[in-house]
Amino acid sequence: MTAISTASLSNGPRPLEGVIVLELGSRIASVFASGILAEQGATVIKVEDPSGGDVLRTVNPFDGKQSLFFAAEDRNRKSVTLNLRHPTGQELFRELASKADVLCENFRPGTMERWHLGPSDVNPELIYARVSVFGQDGPYSERPGLDLLGVGYGGLLYMTGPADQPPVKSSVTISDHITAMFLSQAVTAALYRQRVTGDNSGVVIDASLYGSILRTLEATLAEYAATGVAPARGRSRPFDSAPAGMFLTADDSWIAVSGGSDVAFTNIARLLGQTQWVGDPLFSSMQLRFENAPALNAVLADWLRQRTADEAIGILREFDVPVSRVNSAVDLLNDAHVTARNDLPEFNDHTIGPLRLPAPYPRFANFSAPREGAPTLGEHNREVWGELVGISADRLETLKSEGVI
Amino acid sequence: MIDTGSTDATSISQPLHGVRAIVLGGLPAGTIAGSLLSDLGAEVIHVSSPRGGDPLAHRPPVVNNESLAWQIIARSSKSATCNLDDEAGVHLLRELLEHVDVVIESFGPGGLEGYGLETASFPASVVLVRISAYGQDGPYSAYSGDDLTSLAFSGLAHLTGHRGGAPVPLATAIADYLCAVACSQATISSLVGRVATGRGDVIDASLYGAALRITEWAVPAADRLGTDRTREGNFPRNAAPLGVYSSKDDQYVAIVGGTDANFQRLVDAMQDPAISDPRFKTPSQRSQQADELNAMVRAWAAALTIEELETKCLASGVPFGRVYTARDLSTDPHFVQRGDLTSVENRSTGPVIQPSPYPLFVGSPTPPPLAPSALGADNEYVWVDVAGRTSEELAADTSRGRI
């Protein structure tokens, strides 16, 4: 093996070291966007309302006093309190922003401007990253909403689920998370441009929740334009071709099998004893296999129903057909590959101590990502307001008693 | 449409202007990551085998013998060919590496090395992204996988579906896109670091890892509480009332009344004394009686048309959503005003409608994407202009099957 060893170089500098990110988020999207930047070395300062902070701190499930949802999303950051509705709070925020490189916020469009904290009110070099359900302009921009609306308006919800049932959402907030990833990408690109050109002018980035989902629709819209039929639920996903899908095994486990590509199809035909499939003109391309999926899937479903998950997975792997158990979190904690790759490492949560969370992603050879857990509310007030902004201890006390911090 | 005055899709004002990336290997996530870099202004070149090209070029849906999916996932990319089974072809690729900033490869663990391309011999400035189903190491690293199996492996499929029903795959390639966006972000981050150090990085991206990263509280709850989170359909247990309901005219609608503020707004909209009961005062009381509350909202929704529901919800400030089809998306005035859809001209298929680059950089419109180049169409540019071969050498390489 000649690949650069992860261990030998893992103490190198993180690429975003020195970048200061202010996170004015609640729930997920701007929180996760800044969390990705933190994994690559940025210092993230979460600015929370002193009356209780991010609403995610109150969302189930709890381990003692800590929301595990908050613990998972809000790792690797500092927490300060600040009342942005208070004129002094707004002034302090502008001071803080003058020290920062990036701001991530997800208030309803117009809110930051109402607080005199809009892009033209703060540090002109700031990369000002904004998340909202419908974007910063357009007829729906002022409507309320959250993740579920992003998934619905973005077109994913309608197409997800079995044909004979209503559309079904994921229990995981998909549009919040993928919006966050796109946003962190755009922020990083803006940082790159500042570094390369030396032009530090600020940038405003406008990320709608529905837009991130829309960006994943791939050919859905083109297919509708070409055929006049809007893709619906219950068919294989076209890019999966067939045979493919979620199947039940003899021991009542769910497994996912993907036998639609040209290579996998030839292999699975051999495995199932259906070698005549390979020359059959009905199945001669991914598109045709997709169109004739029921015939192919029925044979695979029968075969799998007669085998345990372990047995079936073993055989399918032997024939190089993509397959996986449908893992739950408990399955993942016990999985040999997840363990070997340390995909669920321990973080140091500031409320409950050691806590296993999904690993930083992706992994870089040159440095190791931080594994600090979520902060308590206002935990870093002294450090940030005192050391970074330069507010005296006396004034901090006054600000606290006035409800500003 | 913006007239850029040239055939190049990128503009000098774009953040990745001047960055050159090559894409090797056949996983969709690698191709998609390339399209994301090109959306931001990078020059992206697919380097493919001269025999048959990229298997994704046949990815359904296919209309009039043209893969619409390929038109979109490979948009704005240039195409060069190179036969890596031939030692001379490998040598050509090595020459090209001296002139690129980013390599995205998805040959699988050991694939590059198998071609004699030891990564330690890459120029130090190159950012190398290695995408594979299960990552570069670990006991499953040699297994193949794709979006579907990665949804399953990551835990996301287990968390998607109706309560008590089968796990269902999300209808778009979410695992591929999560991986691709994360890879594109990580690439740019590495380029930021390179400005100071001159060094690129090697990035190991499994297809499942990005999906696993977004599974919220499932892992810590299993770790600390011993509870194994499962799919709960359209009506979550930890917030109510909230979900996807049906209107009188058989349209699906999302209505959100979980927090105290939204619940009060919903009470105002419904004007039903039964729901303003003190038993539903706090969020935890409401989540304990989620089924009862959701049944009340369901009955209310079923008695009104979607227009009536939307009017009432918006008047009271209740978050309300429609469940859009491709038809709705194609005609909605909000999407039109924001320019969310782009039509890309293609010589053989005509215009291909597709999602615009996302997100928006306010005040600096992104140039529209271009159709991907046909296989090998940019060989002259890539091997002569970029890699510095002569036209005579190019002709010889072509006739010998090296490119």
pLDDT tens digits, B93-102: 999 999 999 9
Domain A238-248+254-325 belongs in CATH node 3.30.1540.10 = yes
**pLDDT for the residue numbered B9:** 55
For residue B5, name the pLDDT band (cuts at 50, 70, 90): very low
Tokens linked to B210:
């990005």
Q: What is the spatial distance between Cα A304 and Cα A83, in angstroms, rounded to a whole number?
A: 58
- Over the range B126-135, which residues count as b (16 or more CB within 10 Å of their CB) and which as e? bbbbbbbbbb
Question: What is the radius of gyration, based on Cα positions, of chain A?
Answer: 25
Q: Given B304, B326, B348, which residue is the final one in a domain?
A: B326
Which chain A residues are closer than 8 Å to B144 by Cβ? 264, 320-322
In terms of domains, do B185 and B312 share one?
A: no
CATH code of residue B206: 3.40.50.10540
Instruction: Please provide the average confidence, as pLDDT, over all residues in chain A.
Output: 95
Tokens linked to B115:
């071609």
pLDDT at residue A4 is higher than 80 = no
Does B38 contact chain A (CB < 8 Å)?
A: no
Which of B69, B89, B120 is CA-nearest to residue B24? B89
pLDDT at residue B174 is higher than 90 = yes
Fold for domain A6-216+342-401?
Rossmann fold (3.40.50)
Does A258 contact chain B (CB < 8 Å)?
A: yes
For residue B8, name the pLDDT band (cuts at 50, 70, 90): low
In terms of domains, do B344 and B315 share one?
A: no
In terms of domains, do B198 and B295 share one?
A: no
Distances (CA, A) of A377 to A51, A195, A350, B306: 10, 33, 10, 41
Please state the domain count of chain B.
Answer: 2
Report the pLDDT averaged over residues A14-21. Answer: 97
In terms of domains, do B322 and B181 share one?
A: no
* Domain-located, residue B2: no
Q: What is the spatial distance between Cα B67 and Cα B69, in angstroms, rounded to a whole number?
A: 5
B242-246 β-sheet, strand order: B242-246, B252-256, B320-322
The DSSP call for residue A238 is G
- Percent share of chain A, pLDDT over 70: 98
Amino acid at A357: L
Which chain B residues are closer than 8 Å to A240 by Cβ? 146-148, 169
Tokens linked to B186:
């990580």
Report which secondary-structure segment, H or E, holds A265.
Answer: helix A262-271
* Domain-located, residue B254: yes
Does A112 contact chain B (CB < 8 Å)?
A: no
In terms of domains, do B301 and B351 share one?
A: no
CB contacts < 8 Å between A and B, how many? 528
* Residues of the domain holding B284: 242-326
Does A301 contact chain B (CB < 8 Å)?
A: no
More confident residue, B58 or A63: A63
Q: Given B326, B351, B367, which residue is the final one in a domain?
A: B326
**Full DSSP string of B231-257:** --TTS-SSS-SEEEEE-TTS-EEEEE-
* Domain-located, residue B361: yes
In terms of domains, do B271 and B299 share one?
A: yes
| 3-class secondary-structure state, position B70 | helix
Q: Of chain B residues 160-219, which have a CB less than 8 A from chain A?
A: 160-162, 165-174, 177-179, 181-186, 188-197, 199, 201-206, 209-210, 212-219
Q: Given B326, B356, B373, which residue is the final one in a domain?
A: B326
* Domain-located, residue B234: no
- Report CA B87 to chain centroid distance, whole Å: 35
Q: Pick from A168, A183, A325: which is nearest to B168 by CB?
A: A168
Question: Is B176 in the active site?
Answer: yes
pLDDT tens digits, B47-90: 999 987 787 888 888 888 889 999 999 999 999 999 999 999 99
Distances (CA, A) of B396 to A395, B383, B392, B393: 77, 12, 6, 5
In terms of domains, do B156 and B104 share one?
A: yes
* Domain-located, residue B45: yes
Does A315 contact chain B (CB < 8 Å)?
A: no
Which candidate in B176, B201, B332, B378 is catalytic? B176
Domain boundaries, chain A: 6-216+342-401, 238-248+254-325
Which chain A residues are closer than 8 Å to B366 by Cβ? none
CATH code of residue B253: 3.30.1540.10
In terms of domains, do B168 and B263 share one?
A: no
- Which parts of A263-369 are beta strand (E)? 323-325, 346-349, 353-356, 363-364
In terms of domains, do B48 and B169 share one?
A: yes
In terms of domains, do B66 and B159 share one?
A: yes
The DSSP call for residue B160 is B
Residue B135 backbone zone (phi > 0: left; psi -120 to 50: alpha; other: beta): left
Q: Of chain A residues 172-231, which have a CB less than 8 A from chain B?
A: 172-174, 177-179, 181-186, 188-193, 195-196, 203-208, 211-227, 230-231
pLDDT tens digits, A92-138: 999 999 999 999 999 999 999 999 999 999 999 999 999 999 999 99
* Domain-located, residue B155: yes
The reply to whether domains A6-216+342-401 and A238-248+254-325 share a CATH topology is no
In terms of domains, do B70 and B189 share one?
A: yes
| Out of B235-244, B292-301, B308-317, least confident range | B235-244
Contact state of A61 with B136 under an 8 Å Cβ cutoff? no
Q: What is the spatial distance between Cα A385 and Cα A398, in angstroms, rounded to a whole number?
A: 13
pLDDT at residue A12 is higher than 90 = no
In terms of domains, do B27 and B163 share one?
A: yes
